[in-house]
Structure 1
Amino acid sequence: MQSLDILEQLIAFPSVVGQDNGAIVDFISDYLQSHGAKVSILPGPEGDRANLFATLGPADVPGYILSGHMDVVPAGESDWTSSPFQLRRDGELLYGRGTSDMKGFLAAVLAAVPTIAAMRLTRPIHIAFSYDEEAGCRGVPHMIARLPELCAAPLGAIIGEPSEMRAIRAHKGKAAARLTITGRTGHSSRPDLGLNAIHAMAGMLSAAVDAAAGLQAGPLEEVFEPPYSSLQAGTLRGGQAVNIVPDFCEAEFEARAISGVDPASLLEPVRLAAEALAAKGFGVDWAPMSAYPALSLPEQAPLSALLADLTGIEPLAAVSYGTEAGLYQRAGIDAIICGPGHIGCAHKANEYILTSELAACQGMIEALAHHCL
């Protein structure tokens, strides 16, 4: 089956993050098993979502992981010019939700499977497809934890996020948390009788602004743009009406960390400031939402050299967006990013990928298989 045909079928699954993904998992599992792959479906704790892990070749010797996620962001934008869950071709352009991020990579992997299955591999090719990456890499940690029972320690993992088929060695880590402040409502003419949750949140926003400003002084890592860690408030909501003392305010905070910095630690100034509100009578709930570590693969790493050989392009030092790669590296598996599509096309209406990128990705995967003979 051609990668274009497979991509058309994958796009037709509205596998939006946070929802049941059984249909797309079953489709991929059936396809892989029809070509002789050993497939394990790994349900997550949510009960309606699963990761998928498959092996071509001998599982008891070190090999390589091809890693991607099956979920996509919602497609609620009003300016789609065609159905987001129906692949539309316009010359070289293939439109649909997830074409770049990242069902294009999944399609290229699956299209290469018949060729790989016909080879006598001495090292295995593993396929690791996760769920809920778009919610902060929530699914893949459960799969990584199971790897010791599924295969020998891998030599490396290629994470197929959109990179225009140029390998990438580093990205920042991320942590996000939701802060909910509960006060006491009342008439705005008697603010002394209430506890204004929005005013209390203002202090937390100031703490975030001050902490973010301090991060600009370093430590620095010049391969990133910007070269320092960052912190921001991303959402804010609260209150009912202008003449009511608001008893509720909620904000979401996000930190992005350079290599060697724990992204969750960057949120500590806000969390500690929030804890102090309890002494003033406010209810405070600090709820971590997601976290993943930075990726930092050395330039001289064998996996970096391998990707340079497979793609014919020297790997890029770093990008600003995050992936599951840092989680593989934290588990002791070298990881690198390389996949079809452009990150600038992701998460917006009329997302697309080029047919030439699909072909190039399939070629890279088949070249990796030849390396494993």
Structure 2
Amino acid sequence: MDVFDILDRLVAFPSVAGRPNGDIAGWIEAYLAEHGTRVTVLPGPEGDRSNLFATIGPANVPGYILSGHMDVVPAAEPQWSSSPFALRREGERLYGRGTTDMKGFLAAALAAVPALAGLRLARPIHLAFSYDEEVGCRGVPHLIARLPELCAKPLGVIVGEPSGMRAVRGHKGKAAARVIINGRTGHSSRPDLGLNAIHAMAAALSAAVNEAERLTHGPFDPAFEPPYSSLQAGVVTGGHQVNIIPDICTLDLEARAIPGVDPASLLAPVRARAEALAADGFRIAWNPKSAYPAMSLPPDAPIAGLLHALTGEAPLAAVSYGTEAGLYQAAGLDAIICGPGDIDRAHKPDEYIVTSELAGCQRLIEALGARCAA
């Protein structure tokens, strides 16, 4: 199978984040086994989805991890020109959910396996494919925790998120949470007998707005756009109709932090203001939704030099989106982003990747293999 056949098969799996992924994980496992690759299936605590880890070459020698996620975001938008889970080719463009984010990278890595397997690798190349990245990098921490028993400490991790095949050394961290305020309902003509949850949420929203404004004043990191950490309220829901005192209101919010700042700490003022409402009789629930740390790789890191040599371009300092790379770095591994496609095409109807991008990624992986050969 070539890279296009593999991508066709991968896109056909509707592996939306948060759902069972046995079909796509099982197909990848079988494909790797056909090529004599050692594969370990790593079930997650959810019980219905798994990470995969595979090794080509000697596992007891430090090598490199190619990291990607098998899940995709939903594809319910009506603007799709064709089925999002059936690969469609128009000229050089290949359309389908996940083509760019990031089944294109998975396809290129899998297409390179026969060539890698034919080399006498002195250093191994590992494939680390995770689940539920799109809902807060929930799967990969379980994979990272198992690495010491699966392989020698790697020299570095290449996370194949779409970067136009330009290596990237940094991204912001993120934390997201949901706050739920429960009050007491009643007729709107007697507000004195109820507890208006929407009015109470205004206090938490005010804290979020104030914190967002405060963050614009620094600290700063000029590698990023914007060059400061940020916070936003993304979704507010509550109430039933205008003449009923709303007894529940929900707020979803997120923070994105420059390196050196704990993203969860940026949400603390909002949480404190919300939980203070308990003194007025409200019931408050604070539910963390996701979190991952920032990634900041020094310019002189060996893997940055390796990617410079393989791509012919110096790595970029940073991108605005987040990846699993921060979690690998937090675990003590040098990580860098480099993958096919453009992030601006992701999470949209008619997501696509270009055939030359897939071919270029496969060539880079095979060139990495040649450097690892005995």
Q: Counterpart in 2 of 1:260?
A: 260
Q: One-letter code of the match for 2:317?
A: A
- Distance in 1 separating the partners of 2:114 and 2:136: 32
Q: Counterpart in 1 of 2:273?
A: 273
- Distance in 1 separating the partners of 2:340 and 2:4: 13
- Distance in 1 separating the partners of 2:320 and 2:266: 17
Q: Counterpart in 2 of 1:332?
A: 332
Alignment of 1:132-143 (within 5 A): 132-143=132-143
- Distance in 2 separating the partners of 1:45 and 1:185: 38
- The alpha-carbon deviation at position 140 of structure 1 amounts to 0.2
Cα deviation code 1:211-237 (max 9, x no counterpart): 111111111000100000000101010
Q: Counterpart in 2 of 1:124?
A: 124
- The alpha-carbon deviation at position 134 of structure 1 amounts to 0.1
- The alpha-carbon deviation at position 322 of structure 1 amounts to 0.2
Q: One-letter code of the match for 1:118?
A: G
Cα deviation code 1:20-62 (max 9, x no counterpart): 1000000000010111111000000111010000000000010
Q: Counterpart in 2 of 1:300?
A: 300
Q: Counterpart in 2 of 1:311?
A: 311
Q: Counterpart in 2 of 1:197?
A: 197
Cα deviation code 1:150-191 (max 9, x no counterpart): 000000000000001000000000000000000000000000
Query: Which structure 1 residue ranges, 4+ long, deviate > 6 Å from structure 2?
Result: none
2:155 is equivalent to residue 155 of structure 1: yes
- The alpha-carbon deviation at position 102 of structure 1 amounts to 0.2
How many percent of aligned residue pairs carry the same amino acid?
71
Q: One-letter code of the match for 1:10?
A: L
Q: One-letter code of the match for 2:29?
A: S
- The alpha-carbon deviation at position 312 of structure 1 amounts to 1.1
Q: Counterpart in 2 of 1:218?
A: 218
SS at match of 2:81: coil
* TM-score, with structure 2 as normaliser: 0.99
Cα deviation code 1:104-163 (max 9, x no counterpart): 000000000000001000100000000000001000000000000000000000000000
Alignment of 1:1-373 (within 5 A): 1-373=1-373
Q: One-letter code of the match for 1:211?
A: E
Q: One-letter code of the match for 1:96?
A: G
SS at match of 1:40: strand
Q: One-letter code of the match for 2:310?
A: L
Q: Which runs of 5+ in 1 are unaligned?
A: none
- The alpha-carbon deviation at position 207 of structure 1 amounts to 0.1
- Distance in 2 separating the partners of 1:152 and 1:283: 49
* TM-score, with structure 1 as normaliser: 1.00
- Distance in 2 separating the partners of 1:140 and 1:85: 24
Q: One-letter code of the match for 1:135?
A: V
- The alpha-carbon deviation at position 371 of structure 1 amounts to 1.0
Q: Number of residue pairs matched?
A: 373
SS at match of 1:244: coil
- Distance in 2 separating the partners of 1:11 and 1:313: 30
- The alpha-carbon deviation at position 200 of structure 1 amounts to 0.4
Cα deviation code 1:66-104 (max 9, x no counterpart): 000000000000010011000000010000000000000
Q: One-letter code of the match for 2:59?
A: A
Q: One-letter code of the match for 2:353?
A: I
Cα deviation code 1:269-288 (max 9, x no counterpart): 00001110111100000000
SS at match of 1:227: coil
- Distance in 1 separating the partners of 2:264 and 2:47: 27
SS at match of 1:24: helix
- The alpha-carbon deviation at position 202 of structure 1 amounts to 0.6
